[in-house]
Structure 1
């Protein structure tokens, strides 16, 4: 479902804000036509209602002084959040698009894009490839420029063993797209792991390394990290410091805030110093 934006005044406030808030989240945007930050905020909110299921109720304080005074509006823009008939503070001043998205996610709202991406990740995790392909095609046609889609597509291709196509996709993510670039490099490393698994050597170290690569590919990260750490402690120079680099790859895949990243970063530091 999509949201919408509506002009609200004293006469329709009860119906369009309070009553509607029992079905949908409502953001009440108190604004003034002479206010610069209000003009900055307006197009951002109007863009976001096309992605999320919430309502923007716009109230011009000069036309509706009684509403402004009833809700204690002192500066504009002043955005309030209305849920289940209750009016809560939101934010005052113009926030950036990213900050408003953050606020919406704290309110447990997901955009259509986030919902589709989540469905895609679930399909890939359950190895439901026909659904995954369908969702990917849909995402690519709707959001051709979102790096998140490129990363998921590459991940999908790696699972299907189409590693060359995956690499081509990953090469389109630029270094200035910082968060996504690290993920892209990590996925390229996964492709390397796939090759390393195929050519496991004779020695115990080589076999352990291949096994740890295999565990990474099946997303058994605790076992993989434990094994890579063992290799680091046994022979730091093995595969040109390959085990340490492999651990860094897993950290990039999981993200800095993941408990495993935090735990094994510490263990790796202790091992190295």
Structure 2
């Protein structure tokens, strides 16, 4: 975990330049009247709780000399200081994912990522109960972190606890754009995992449907879409329109821009109308 500090002209050399020889320093030049600064602040404060860097906050109105020295023309302006060298970071507000990429470029790793690596390592060694215990502890301390929730849902999906995974994903809303799409993907995979575990019936299309579901779980999406489309063509009412719904779920997994999504969405429309 890093440290968040306020810095002025008198402390800049010690708290920024000298400390940058120990760990990276992100200098956040901000102003209290700046709306984007207030948007960026909680994101940076959140990340400094996960990564081992120093967040040095400089109020440009209180320290105009520092702003001038480091070429600050608009705020927020974040500079990166490593080994005493001040370099350009970014101006404006970046999404959390891009900020994490920036920290990764500084060879910093989130303590949450390290904890998740430990959890998956334990699971891969067959210590599933220990992994679950570690994950539950992580969730308890980061219950409102969508990234942790997604990772936890994925873990429970992998170990077959589908209801737990589904419940974890419920709070993620559509306005949380960065997390809603992967949440939809996991929900789609839960759907297919659940379908794969259901006993076979006597309908003539049951075997084809199961084969299509298995193709999804093996990530053979083209074959799965071909088979589901064939089922839609034969019997739209089968499994309460299940084949069409399955195709839509695959589109969620692949994303709207994937070539298979574009192709089979058109084919599905032709079959339906």
Please confirm whether the aligned pair reaches a TM-score higher than 0.5, indicating the same fold.
yes
Matched, 1:267 2:263: yes
2:47 aligns with 48
Cα distance between partner residues in 2 of 1:151 and 1:31? 32
Cα distance between partner residues in 2 of 1:43 and 1:152? 22
Question: What SS does the corresponding residue of 1:221 show, helix, strand or coil?
Answer: coil
> Are the counterparts in 2 of residues 22 and 83 from structure 1 also a CA contact under 8 Å?
yes
1:242 aligns with 242
> What's the CA shift string for 1:111-130, capped at 9, x where partnerless?
43454446546666776523
1:25 aligns with 24
> What's the CA shift string for 1:73-95, capped at 9, x where partnerless?
234443212234432323445x3
Question: What SS does the corresponding residue of 1:89 show, helix, strand or coil?
Answer: strand
1:199 aligns with 200
Cα distance between partner residues in 1 of 2:175 and 2:195? 24
> What's the CA shift string for 1:53-99, capped at 9, x where partnerless?
22112334455444332222234443212234432323445x3xxx3
CA distance 1:123–1:230, shift in 2 (3 Å): farther
> What's the CA shift string for 1:30-56, capped at 9, x where partnerless?
345x64448725555334322322211
Matched, 1:221 2:219: yes
1:190 aligns with 192
Cα distance between partner residues in 2 of 1:270 and 1:21? 55
Cα distance between partner residues in 1 of 2:173 and 2:43? 27
Cα drift, residue 141 of structure 1:
1.1
> Are the counterparts in 2 of residues 31 and 38 from structure 1 also a CA contact under 8 Å?
no
Cα drift, residue 142 of structure 1:
0.7
Cα drift, residue 139 of structure 1:
1.9
Cα drift, residue 220 of structure 1:
1.2
Cα distance between partner residues in 2 of 1:206 and 1:242? 11
Query: Could you tell me the TM-score, scaled by structure 1's length?
Result: 0.71
Cα drift, residue 265 of structure 1:
0.7
Cα drift, residue 262 of structure 1:
0.8
Query: Could you tell me the TM-score, scaled by structure 2's length?
Result: 0.71
List runs of 5+ in structure 2 lacking aligned partners: none
Matched, 1:8 2:7: yes
Cα drift, residue 4 of structure 1:
0.7
CA RMSD of aligned residues (A): 3.8
> Are the counterparts in 1 of residues 20 and 83 from structure 2 also a CA contact under 8 Å?
yes
Cα drift, residue 140 of structure 1:
1.7
Q: How many residues align?
A: 257
Cα distance between partner residues in 2 of 1:26 and 1:54? 6
List runs of 5+ in structure 1 lacking aligned partners: none
1:112 aligns with 111
2:139 aligns with 140
Cα distance between partner residues in 2 of 1:228 and 1:92? 44
> Are the counterparts in 2 of residues 212 and 225 from structure 1 also a CA contact under 8 Å?
no
